[in-house]
Structure 1
């Protein structure tokens, strides 16, 4: 099968033939119909996240936002069958640890990051093996497009979990989203669907325009404005919830400082080599205003049905965040464009042969 293989960091991925996977007893093989190209893939391609133990080894197939059709299952698989169309979360759980058994599979005690570790080769390929398929393969509703659902593997469901499960959003709350990439635009669309008034923050006017189309009621160009001061002016004292959807020091600190009293900062973006996970924060301000700092990772696969129900009723539309479809051969160009934050929305691979 054809796959995009990481042979050297920051160099084009090698598009070459590799062996197709066979299913483990509890696993399944899917034919990948679509896979998003995510900024997390860019981090892996850059050689980031060694400080988290997530730096992918050379020889790794990247890609962690797949949707496709099950073509083979192992002897011990009970709930997933050949012909099912599924999405796969990027945080592969074992299904049996305490976290998985209590509904928190996104923080599995033995998690394997899809596309970042040798045991779980990624989805920039014609086929993908899914371990513990009954837990990790999420059956898609009938009639939905794999391209539209590709973002569910990471960005869209990550934003949904952050806002619907981790933050306490009520109708009419002010929610500021810092960074209008794929995660940020997804967060804007979801926060709007949850009844919030959304403020979008970015450096690029085109992305801010897209944010408006997805439900932002106010936008701030961070290159031209004092971000915390402008958010506080718009939100009459500060945002109720503020999301760092990028992960650099500036957006993290701006997000915290944009909050009003008892506001909630939600950290979704992971940091780069500049920060290595360490960011200075205004802790005295956080104490005085009783500000909460909340981390949010992925989404438990057992709760995907919440997204599907909102899609079914038209409240959410993951396809609205898909910016373009490309071929497997184009993946290196799309990763390189992320060096300067040029990518808007979610580019999706839908041609693998």
Structure 2
């Protein structure tokens, strides 16, 4: 198969012919019809993830068709249209038994713990626990984002953040996960303040339901701007970018008893995030993490997508062939682009 491969961290990747994957006894091989280009992939390429062994194929946000199943798989067969959470759970540890597969103790992650979906085929573990059916009416390019960015934002806003109608929700960083959070929070009846340094991203945030937009290039203090726009601070604030600056600003922009959810990755290479813990104590703030969403939790989100209440298809702003993926991956560090970029590994490419 053809796949994007890198042999050194931070050095140019290339499209090469590599061996086809085979399914494990409880796993499947999926023909990748669409895969998202995510900032997490860039972190992996830069060497910020200790699980990656070189040479490596990135990519973790995918949708496609089951090509081959292992002998232990009972719920899926060749030809099924599927996506998968980026956290592939083992299904048998204590966290999985409690229904918290997104923090599985023995999780695997395509594109991190093993070769990923910037390829024509990808192997996925524990298929009966992890695969999610994709309805026929949902395009692969749309479904790919449901494996990471959109599902991650959904759980961060709805489950961890507990966004309620009429509340103020601030979203710091309006890339793919941030714009997803804006759309989901607005659909939940919240009033959204979007914060970003890119005018195009703020324009999309307004399109997807933000009532205010804060330009981080011109605002001397984004947290203060959020507090002023919301009449005292956000009830819920999310750092969807993942940087010490945006994490601290998200917490500082909360009102008393507000809730901060950290969604964007904060790898050690980015530096330590210094949070105003004196305010966390005095104002009884909540500091929460959010790490994807378990496969069994997908049905409510999928129903909202089917009904048109949520439109992840509108987030897709670019589609690239596999040969363009190496350059696009490298550019994520300085020019992440607007909306969601999808890579189409099959030829001829079709979304």
Post-superposition offset of 1:272: 4.2
Q: Distance in 1 between matches of 2:228 and 2:40?
A: 33
Post-superposition offset of 1:205: 0.8
Structure 1 residues 350 and 227: CA distance shift in structure 2, 3 A: same
1:113 maps to 109
Q: Deviations over 1:192-246 (max 9, x none)?
A: 1111100000011111001101110100001111211111111110000000001
1:246 aligns with 2:264: no
2:215 maps to 221
Post-superposition offset of 1:274: 4.3
Work out which of the residue numbers 58, 75, 81 in structure 2 matches 1:62.
Answer: 58
Q: Distance in 1 between matches of 2:325 and 2:53?
A: 18
Work out which of the residue numbers 332, 336, 341 in structure 2 matches 1:347.
Answer: 341
Structure 2 SS opposite 1:112: coil
Q: Distance in 2 between matches of 1:99 and 1:150?
A: 26
- The answer on whether the counterparts of 1:7 and 1:14 sit within 8 Å (CA) in structure 2 is no
2:3 maps to 3
1:259 aligns with 2:254: yes
Structure 2: which 5+ runs fail to align?
A: none
Work out which of the residue numbers 123, 126, 137 in structure 1 matches 2:117.
Answer: 123
Structure 1 SS opposite 2:15: strand
Work out which of the residue numbers 172, 196, 204 in structure 1 matches 2:198.
Answer: 204
1:295 maps to 289
- The answer on whether the counterparts of 2:26 and 2:127 sit within 8 Å (CA) in structure 1 is yes
TM-score, normalised to structure 2, is: 0.96
Q: Distance in 2 between matches of 1:159 and 1:187?
A: 5
1:271 maps to 266
Post-superposition offset of 1:25: 1.6
Q: Distance in 2 between matches of 1:47 and 1:89?
A: 22
Work out which of the residue numbers 67, 70, 82 in structure 2 matches 1:71.
Answer: 67
Q: Distance in 2 between matches of 1:335 and 1:129?
A: 21
Q: Distance in 1 between matches of 2:104 and 2:267?
A: 24
Q: Distance in 2 between matches of 1:270 and 1:194?
A: 25
2:100 maps to 104
Q: Distance in 2 between matches of 1:341 and 1:104?
A: 34
Structure 2 SS opposite 1:149: helix
Work out which of the residue numbers 292, 303, 307 in structure 1 matches 2:301.
Answer: 307
Post-superposition offset of 1:22: 1.5
Structure 1 SS opposite 2:112: coil
Pairs aligned (count): 346
- Deviation >3 Å, runs of 4+: 272-276
TM-score, normalised to structure 1, is: 0.95
